[in-house]
Amino acid sequence: MSKLAIVTGASKGIGLALTRKLLAAHHQVIGTSRKGNIDAVSHPNFESFPLDLSNLDSITKFAEWFSTKELKIDLLLNNAGIGPDLETQYPEEKSYDQTFEVNVKGTVFLTELLIPSINPKGRILNVSSKMGSIEHCESSGSVAYRMSKSALNMYTKILANRLANTIDVVAIHPGWVRTSITPSSVNARLSPEESADKIMDYVNNRFTNGEFWDAESDMKLKW
């Protein structure tokens, strides 16, 4: 049965790979990016819309546009995120603010506006990171990125508690993926397509409310 998914950050990397896999599975996808046009995807079941998660007006505009379509969401895939302070040692105010505006504030308020449009038994998947796990933290760097993902994990648990028995909510670590987020990512273990395969396997076969899942290792993570 065809379902409707919203994928943020759908123009490249993991978001683009997930969009393509959802479309290949005959689902309808609305993909967002800052520019809006996603030339890498051409499919009758795909529609794109501009969304800047650092701008609340942009978030509101997207939510209002979606409400006019009178559709229900089966999967909200909060994939968009930034990491300008990755591989740096100390926090810096500008990059710190940018990171929290996108990875936390924007994601939270977009989700809150879209929850009324999610089907009963629908799903919210927050793309987090193992770097946000307090239990696994053994580094003193990437301060804002790590903290933002820890905050996203807490929001995941809060939503999972609030929406229990109606909408399932999880956080997922996509693995170390070859993306443009840092220069060193060129050496990462997984391609975006391989990461997307693992994420979709979890979505289709293991999705459990309130869980923090490591897609690369195929196991639960400690918060």
pLDDT reported for residue 147: 98
Average model confidence (pLDDT) across the chain: 97
Q: What is the pTM of this model?
A: 0.96
pLDDT reported for residue 15: 98
* Structural domain boundaries in the chain: 4-220
Does 1 score more than 80 pLDDT?
no
Directed axis angle between helix 93-100 and helix 143-162, to 10°? Answer: 20
33: how many CB neighbours lie within 10 A of its CB? 22
Average pLDDT over residues 48-73: 97
Indicate the pLDDT class of residue 9, thresholds 50, 70 and 90: very high
**The listed CATH number (3.90.550.10, 3.40.50.720, 3.30.200.20, 2.40.30.10) that belongs to domain 4-220:** 3.40.50.720
By three-state DSSP, how is residue 169 classified?
Answer: strand
Q: Tell me whether strands 212-214 and 219-220 are parallel, antiparallel or unpaired.
A: antiparallel
Q: What is the pLDDT of residues 122-170, one digit of tens each?
A: 999 999 999 999 999 999 999 999 999 999 999 999 999 999 999 999 9
Does 52 score more than 80 pLDDT?
yes
- HSE of 8, CA atoms in CB hemisphere, 13 A: 27
Cα–Cα distance between 145 and 167 in angstroms, integer?
Answer: 27
The answer for residues whose C-beta is within 8 angstroms of residue 64's C-beta and 6 or more apart is: none
Indicate the pLDDT class of residue 180, thresholds 50, 70 and 90: confident
Burial group, residue 123, by CB count within 10 angstroms (0-12, 13-18, 19+): buried
Give the CA diameter of the chain.
48
